[in-house]
Homo-oligomer: A and B are copies of this chain.
Amino acid sequence: MADSAIQMDIPECRDDEYKEVAWAIPKFGSKFEPIWINRPKVQDNHVKFEMHYCGICHSDCHLGLNHLGGSMYPMVPGHELVGVVTEVGSKVTKVKVGDKVGVGCIIDSCLDCGTCKGGDEQYCEGGGNTHTYNSLKTYGHIGGNPDTQNFGGYSASNVVHEHFIIKVPDEMDLEKVGPIMCAGITLYDPLRHWGATKEGSKMCIGIVGIGGLGTMGIKLAKALGHRVIAISTSSNKAELAKNKGADAFVVSTDNASMAAEAGKMDLIINTVSAKHEVSHYLSLLKTDGTIVQLGLVPEPHTVCQLPLIFSRKSISGSLIGGIAATEECLAFCQKHNIFPDTQLVEAKDIDWAWDQLTTLNKDGIRYVIDIKKSLTGEFVPK
């Protein structure tokens, strides 16, 4: 998709900006390089934090490789940012210097529409949310040069409006926190929206696809006290799913295995991001059950509406989660000691880590860049 790639050279650093180290894909098709970027200086409602870690998400690769078209270069990916506050604007009340904080997939939205006010900033109806990177400055809550793009978390610091700062509990180990702000909330928010986090709720929950998202889903649903059924196209992931807490395992290509759990699930969370047929899983749902699609699959599904009618089943979708829900998710993970399975890498290893993510399927390991350590090496800008 070279044609649709957008090259946006970085202008001079303005007075309301500062220079910062980052690791970027300088132009479409290139490998990672250390570069200098401009970040906005702190204004009234802004929070600056020193980056300690940034998770590498599979969707970084999709955007970095311009799989969806329209990617902006140089690109500094990263939407699983964690660090420690070093400066706050005069009007900031949410955090103070020294606090542990994070930033997830979004750094701005209109903050004025019904969904923003309802805590679902990810579904902003006032013009859409602003992604943490590979996005332009739409709403004016982000400082610095308004004509430049936003850069993500593969960098030494960031400055974000306090609304989009996520407070991380003091006791949490920052190394493990980053992926919670993407994989964690992506699974937690649909559980929350469809009633699984309600006190006393007792559900049967299916998780389709046992990768990074799926294993997080199993851990969360299990910690919430539900019966959890892992669903995969083959039995290869059965032991992994069981180790993560699944009560049962369904091989979706095996009729007998599907029949054994037919009509039992209140909720299915489907993490599959390859082409598939959502209808295939409807038989597993109870009356009034819902299957929630999480994967950005552009190929359409073939859906016959008769099972929807005869058992009032629903097909829905879900996208990450809002700021308050993300803080709730962090607190839940802290309380129940739920963390993604992570492996630290340095900035010089990002290309290698992306190769792993795009070619192998490493049982749900999330790679996390150790930013502080990366800054002590040679892979830094001149």
Contact = CB atoms under 8 A, between A and B. Distances in A.
Interface stretch (A136-144, A168-176, A242-250, A288-296): A288-296
A259 to B, nearest CB: 15
A302 B310 CA distance: 19
Contact of A314 (B263, B296, B298, B316): B316
A2 interface: no
A235 interface: no
Contacts of A45: none
Task: Report which residue of A123, A294, A302, A318 has the largest number of chain B beta carbons within 10 angstroms of its beta carbon.
Answer: A123
Interface string A305-348: 11111111111111100000000000000000000000000000
Contacts of A286: 125
A317 B315 CA distance: 10
A309 B300 contact: no
Contacts of A294: 309
B316 A312 contact: yes
A286 B317 CA distance: 14
A177 B278 CA distance: 40
Interface in A138-168: none
A95 to B, nearest CB: 28
Contacts of A14: none
A302 B302 contact: yes
A41 B304 CA distance: 41
A293 B306 CA distance: 9
B314 A318 contact: no
B312 A193 contact: yes
A252 interface: no
A8 interface: no
A318 B114 CA distance: 28
A310 B319 contact: yes
Contact of A310 (B123, B297, B299, B315): B123
Nearest to A279: B300
B318 A315 contact: no
Given A278-B305, A304-B300, A305-B297, A315 B312 contact: no
A279 to B, nearest CB: 8
A62 B313 CA distance: 24
A287 B119 CA distance: 13
Contacts of A123: 287-288, 310-312
Given A123-B287, A125-B263, A316 B310 contact: no
Nearest to A123: B287
Interface in A29-66: none
A370 interface: no
A115 interface: yes
Given A298-B306, A300-B305, A315-B316, 9 more contacts: A193-B312, A294-B309, A297-B305, A302-B303, A305-B317, A309-B319, A312-B318, A312-B319, A315-B315
Q: Which 7 A-B pairs have the closest CB atoms?
A: A308-B317, A309-B317, A314-B316, A123-B287, A300-B304, A293-B305, A300-B302
Interface of A: 114-115, 120, 123, 125, 193, 263, 278-279, 286-288, 290, 293-319
28 contacts: A114-B287, A120-B287, A123-B287, A123-B288, A123-B312, A125-B263, A125-B287, A193-B312, A278-B305, A279-B300, A290-B314, A293-B305, A297-B305, A298-B306, A300-B302, A300-B305, A301-B303, A301-B304, A301-B305, A302-B303, A308-B315, A308-B316, A308-B317, A309-B317, A309-B318, A312-B317, A313-B316, A315-B316
